[in-house]
Structure 1
Amino acid sequence: MKSVLDSNRPIYIQIKETIEEDILNGRLLPDEQIPSNSQLVSHYNINPVTVLKGINLLVDEGIIYKKRGLGMYVSPDAPEKLKKRFSQAFFQEQIEPLTALAKPLGFSLQEIHEMIDSAWKGEKND
């Protein structure tokens, strides 16, 4: 769990995103229980309705499910669902704008690959 939430964004969205990040990063595994509503309320010192709103979004998306009387658990296919959604968003938000800018600048596909390889390795592009 994140230690602090951003005051400039809806808290329920940040609760949802925190759980999604924990699933994607393997901190929460399929069929593993997520932190309880009361744990999230206590940890972030927020209203229980706010937590419930974020949790319900995850339930609606099939990312988590409820075991009656036991709590909320990560759906078996949650990592794959999240990777697919984030991959699509990454393509639309990063790759398409990158190519739209690179083409008019005259970069070849090979040059773009080299720049990405360099950035991946943490090297500076001079």
Structure 2
Amino acid sequence: YRMLLQYVKRHKLDKKVQFLGLVEDITGLLQATDICVFGAKSEGSPNGIIEATLAGLPVVATDLTEIRHVVSEENVPFLFPKDEPEAALDRIQQLVTDADLRKRMGSANKKRNLVLFNQERNFGKIVELVERGRIPEEG
């Protein structure tokens, strides 16, 4: 974190890059955001990425199976190897300079995740699991 702060200061990016700390209004933050950047080296359930995709954002993130499952096919090329975080820079730059690409990718991500994380669909899956696991009553 300190290295990031120093980098921003050294390159005079203070007016373009903000470190917000704890944010309670996630919806407001996502609405004010153009790109989701996520650099974790491991991830069990990428809830932050799911929220970003449902907000219609393109994602530049570490290429992890869990993240690959969540982003659209159009977004996959913007995932970078976990041992090469510098590879994110080109991907970020491409999205910064191409508003149409950001919109297309964000829309594709949102469309995918509205299907994947649909309440009715997930409810049906839970019911199916419960039904399959039901033990017949003795009688």
Same fold at TM > 0.5: no
TM-score by length of 2: 0.32
